[in-house]
Amino acid sequence: MRAHPDFVAGFDAALRGGPVPAGLVARDPAEVERRFAVYRNNVAVSLGEALASRFPVIRRLVGEAFFAAMARLYAETDRPKSPVLAEWGAGFAGFLERFPPLAAYPYLGDVARIEFARGRAFHAADRLPVETAAVAGADPDRVRLVLHPSVTLLALGHPAVSIWARNQPGGEGLPLGKGPETALILRDAAFQVPVRAVGAGDAALLRSVLDGERLALAAAKARDADAGHDPQPMLVSLMQAGAIVDAKE
C-alpha cells in the first residue's frame, strides 16, 4: 500500500493532468479516465471560481474568459494549502507581475494586493473598540495605540487605489491617480471594508502606530514626512471606524 504522502502527491499530479491515481476502479475499466477527467475539470472550475470571487476587479479588468484561463494556470503553480479557500491567493499578485501576457499592465499586481488584503481584513478577528476617553485623555508621550487586526497599510508602486475605486459600482468617473499610492484598508464598525489612499503624513503616522511606537513619536514621523501634518483627522477617522482597540501606557 502506498504511503499517504505519496498517494496525496500522486492524486494532486493527476488533478494537474497526470496519470489517473492507482487504485481507482470502475465497472468498465475504460471509464476510469473519463470519469476522473470530469472530477479534474470540476476541481479546476471550482478553484477558478474561488479565485474570481476573491479578485473581482482583476477579473473585470482582464475579462472573464482571460481570467478563467489564467486562473487555471495559477492553480497549477500555487495550490491551496488549506481547505478554507478564502485563505488562498496570497501569491496571485506576484503571479500577475510575472505573467508575460500582462507585462503591459504592471499595476495589476498592486490591485490584487488590495483585493487580497480586503479579504483578510473582512475575516480578521473581532476586537472591541477602545473607549473614546481612553484615547482623548492619554499622554501622547506615553501612549501606544493598538489598531484592529484588520488594519493594513500597503505601499503600492502604482495608483492602484484609484484603479480599484474606479472599478467599483458607480466609480467610473472617479479621478485616476498619477503615481504610487499608499492604501489604508480596514473593516469598519458596519463590517464594510473600505479602501482609502492616504498621503505621506498619514502613512507615516499609521506605520509608526502599527509598529507599536508611542503616539508622540508617530506624530513626529508624520510631520517629517509632511510638514505641518495634523494627526487628529486620521485618529478621529480610526475611532469612528472602531479601528483603535487599545491605548497602552
Q: How many CA atoms lie within 13 A of 119 on its CB side?
A: 20
Q: In DSSP terms, which residues pair with 182 in a beta bridge?
A: 155, 198
Distance between alpha carbon 230 and the CA centroid of its chain, in Å? 29
Q: What is the pTM of this model?
A: 0.87
Distance CA 187, CA 195 (A): 10
Mean pLDDT by 10 residues, the chain (249 residues): 61 62 66 63 79 96 96 90 86 97 97 98 96 91 97 98 96 90 97 97 98 98 97 97 95
Give residues with Cβ within 8 angstroms of 81, minimum separation 6. 87, 88
Position 115 scores a pLDDT of 98
Query: How high is the pLDDT of residue 8?
Result: 67
Helices (H), the chain: 4-15, 31-54, 56-62, 64-77, 92-98, 108-122, 132-136, 160-166, 200-210, 215-225, 232-240
Which phi and psi angles does 134 have, rounded to 5°? -65, -30
Phi, psi dihedral angles at 184 (to 5 degrees): -105, 125
Query: How is the chain split into domains, by residue range?
Result: 1-106, 127-249
Q: Which amino acid is at 85?
A: L
pLDDT at 83: 81
Instruction: Determine the pLDDT at residue 1.
Output: 45
Q: What is the pLDDT of residue 19?
A: 66
3-class secondary structure per residue, 114-142: HHHHHHHHHCCCCCCCCCHHHHHCCCCCC
